[in-house]
Structure 1
Amino acid sequence: MEAQEYIESGILELYVYGLLSEKENLEIAELAKKNTEVDQEIISIEKAIIALSSSFSPFHSVENFQKIKARLELKHGKVFDLKPASKSSQYIGWAAAVLLLLGLGYQTMELTKTKEAISTVGNEKNKIQRDYAFLDQQNKQTEKNLNIVRDIKNTGVTLGGQAVSPKSFAKVYWNQQTKTTYIDAAGLPTPPKGMVYQVWSLKLSPVLTPTSIGLLDNFEGNSQKIFAVSQTDSAEAFGITLEPAGGSLTPTMEQLYTLGKV
């Protein structure tokens, strides 16, 4: 560390107060012997402390005062105490100290407010980013669903409500070339806990033959209620039943919610 760096770092003040380790004290003492600028800075600090201690004794113990005064006398001869400050000067000094503390308190309070404001802005920014990502995802899903509905290659099959739920309805979008199948289940009520809707492709002749093509999982989490199910090779009708979670091997006809012919 260069001499100027020692001066600017505040370590010389700690040296004068005797707050450094023995190793650091020896290092500063050796530097002061070799460097006049550092030695003069130490002397200036010591003189300033003597002056302040003479005027405002509450800030420095008698022991520290005598140590620094003795050190100066060894270097420069007799050190004369400054005249005691007048009462008005003391009051001015104390008032200045109080104002300084108030100023520091105000600055600390403003800094805290600024940090809180920055934190609030950061939280708001994160919330906006999350909202944007959610809306962007919803927008993409809406565009995808519109493309399904508008695709002229898709055969739309309307499924009407049955005895167990006459007001229910649904719609199947089936591309007979690619075999892709989508279910619009917006007309179905939310299934009870532990139950799930299961979609069936049906052959009506020579005998009724149902084939499961998928479950409408996460019904409440799908806000647009359009679900992709398994590819359908052939079907004469589609039906949706309410089944226990995980689905069933055959449809529960008593829980047939919707049915429609192709």
Structure 2
Amino acid sequence: MDKQEYIESGILELYVFGQLDEPEFSEVTKMAEKDEDIRNEIISIEKAIINFSESVAPFLSSGNYEKIREALMLKHGVVDMKPKSSIYLYLGWAASILLLIGVGYQYVQLEDKKTKIETVETEKSKLQESVVDLTLQNKNNEATLAIIRDNSNTIVKLEGQEVSPQSYAKVYWNKDTKAVHIDAAGLPEPPEGMVYQVWALKLNPLTPTSIGLLENFKGNAKRIFTVENANEAEAFGITLEPAGGSASPTLEQLYTLGKA
């Protein structure tokens, strides 16, 4: 056959796809080295396949595309190396490409479903966390309201002192149960490494007794604290002390004070 018939026979396409046996492959290689038209036709086929593959499968990454292509090659095995006419070769390419697109589409759909499932699970987890948070907030609100509404509690107002005149606080003291709760909403956040300490005071002579620290101040949004019971108290005071508290109050750091 002449050169044009040779080019149109489909053997060059099989050569590009690596579907020729060794003698035929070597023959085409030698002819391509000698004949510029055959060499250019091989290059043209390679470019056409690359461009067409990219255009029909834009939604696949190169890695996934290669995996699918390899899977197709393994699945279909070696085809007839000598098609009766080039039309069968083109039909084979079309079928393979359609199958490649179908597999790719199914792959993308599967990945999309996995992503949606993961999103739903994440939203479900967030919703469960929100429900837990709301439940805890409701319990805290109920506990706070119970303290404020308990008629057994004596409310002691603590006024700001020289170091912080704008500060204030409230003590809810149940003289029957001796329980003490502190409303510290009127206190500024303590500096790093410092903590508020609550004192139950007897006035004559002045005898302070520590009944607790207002720890985790920043994490307590409502600023309601439960401290130790106060068996006897004529007044309450709150001072600013080093972390861990002090054995006796630092009077220069007395923030609030009030008589019971």
Give the 5 Å matches for 1:1-262.
Answer: 84-205=83-204, 207-262=205-260
Distance across 2 between alignment mates of 1:183 and 1:247: 17
Distance across 2 between alignment mates of 1:166 and 1:198: 18
The one-letter code of the counterpart of 1:190 is E
Distance across 2 between alignment mates of 1:176 and 1:103: 79
Distance across 2 between alignment mates of 1:84 and 1:141: 81
- Calculate the TM-score normalised by the size of structure 1: 0.68
Query: 2:169·2:185 contact (CA, 8 Å) conserved in 1?
Result: yes
Secondary structure at 1:167 match in 2: coil
Distance across 2 between alignment mates of 1:124 and 1:176: 48
State the Cα distance separating 1:59 from its structure 2 match: 8.6
Distance across 2 between alignment mates of 1:241 and 1:180: 20
State the Cα distance separating 1:246 from its structure 2 match: 0.7
Distance across 2 between alignment mates of 1:85 and 1:187: 94
Q: Percent identity?
A: 60
Q: Which whole-Å deviations, capped at 9, do the CAs of 1:91-147 have from their partners, x for residues lacking one?
A: 112101101001111111111111111111111111111122112111111110110
Q: Which whole-Å deviations, capped at 9, do the CAs of 1:207-248 have from their partners, x for residues lacking one?
A: 111100000011001111000000110111000000011111
Distance across 1 between alignment mates of 2:147 and 2:195: 24
Distance across 1 between alignment mates of 2:119 and 2:107: 18
Give RMSD over aligned pairs.
Answer: 2.1
State the Cα distance separating 1:60 from its structure 2 match: 7.3
Distance across 2 between alignment mates of 1:114 and 1:144: 45
Distance across 2 between alignment mates of 1:218 and 1:148: 20
Secondary structure at 1:177 match in 2: coil
The one-letter code of the counterpart of 1:236 is E
Secondary structure at 2:209 match in 1: strand
- Calculate the TM-score normalised by the size of structure 2: 0.68
Secondary structure at 1:193 match in 2: coil
Query: 2:159·2:257 contact (CA, 8 Å) conserved in 1?
Result: yes
Query: What count of residue pairs does the alignment treat as equivalent?
Result: 189
Q: Structure 2: which 5+ runs fail to align? A: 1-13, 23-79
Query: 2:240·2:255 contact (CA, 8 Å) conserved in 1?
Result: yes
State the Cα distance separating 1:156 from its structure 2 match: 0.6
Distance across 2 between alignment mates of 1:188 and 1:129: 34
Distance across 1 between alignment mates of 2:212 and 2:258: 17
State the Cα distance separating 1:62 from its structure 2 match: 6.0
Match of 1:5? none
Q: Structure 1: which 5+ runs fail to align? A: 1-55, 64-80
Match of 1:45? none
Distance across 1 between alignment mates of 2:20 and 2:237: 95
Q: Which whole-Å deviations, capped at 9, do the CAs of 1:132-180 have from their partners, x for residues lacking one?
A: 2112111111110110000000111010100100000000001100111
Distance across 2 between alignment mates of 1:96 and 1:218: 69
Query: 2:83·2:89 contact (CA, 8 Å) conserved in 1?
Result: no
State the Cα distance separating 1:84 from its structure 2 match: 4.0
